[in-house]
Amino acid sequence: MDSKFRLLDKRGGFFYVGVMAETATPQIQPGIVQTTEDKPKSGLEPGYLVICWNDPVNFMDYVTHVFQTVFGWPRKKAEFHMLQVHEQGKSVLARESLEKAEHYVHQLQKYTLHATMERDE
């Protein structure tokens, strides 16, 4: 039993030490224009942010998996946001209409992630 606990410790989560073998530094290739993740702000339509907050209990791999599942992101992008949550305390995952943002918050909370919706000021 003890060995299982130690094994878990290595994988991140409650007593995590980094679980990712590599950082998710965005790769920029020649000829490809990198765009931001969020849609451009519109003066007409208020935007709502879907934010995921850090906590010491959710496994890093689990958070990455949830981001992939809920947003359909590739693993690299999901890892980038997971690391942002882990290192900066939060990550803005999406800027959406009220309905879509609400949908995402519900989905993330179903996975017991600490996600909220905030108005984009």
Partner 1 sequence: MKLVRATNSRLVFEMGHREQRSLPQILKLYPCVPPAHHVFSKSDRLPDREGNQQLLDEAMAEQRAENKKQVQALLTDPRKFEHTEAGARLSLSLAEVEWLMQVLNDIRVGSWVILGSPDQKPAELTSANAAHFLAMEMAGYFQMQLLEALGGET
Positions in the binding site for partner 1 (CB under 8 A): 4-5, 7-8, 11, 13-15, 48, 55-59, 61-62, 65, 68-69, 75, 98, 102, 105-106, 109-112, 116-119, 121
CA–CA separation, 14 and 60 (whole Å)? 10
Closest distance to partner 1 from the beta carbon of 69 (Å): 7
Q: Which is nearer to partner 1, 30 or 99 (CB)?
A: 99
Q: Which is nearer to partner 1, 23 or 112 (CB)?
A: 112
Closest distance to partner 1 from the beta carbon of 33 (Å): 28
- 106 Cβ neighbours under 8 A, 6+ residues apart: none
Closest distance to partner 1 from the beta carbon of 31 (Å): 29
Contact criterion met (CB below 8 Å) for 94 and 50: yes
Q: Which is nearer to partner 1, 30 or 72 (CB)?
A: 72
**Phi, psi dihedrals of residue 65, rounded to the nearest 5°:** -60, -45
92: buried, middle or exposed (CB in 10 Å: 19+, 13-18, 0-12)?
middle
Q: Which is nearer to partner 1, 14 or 41 (CB)?
A: 14
Strands (E), 54-97: 90-96
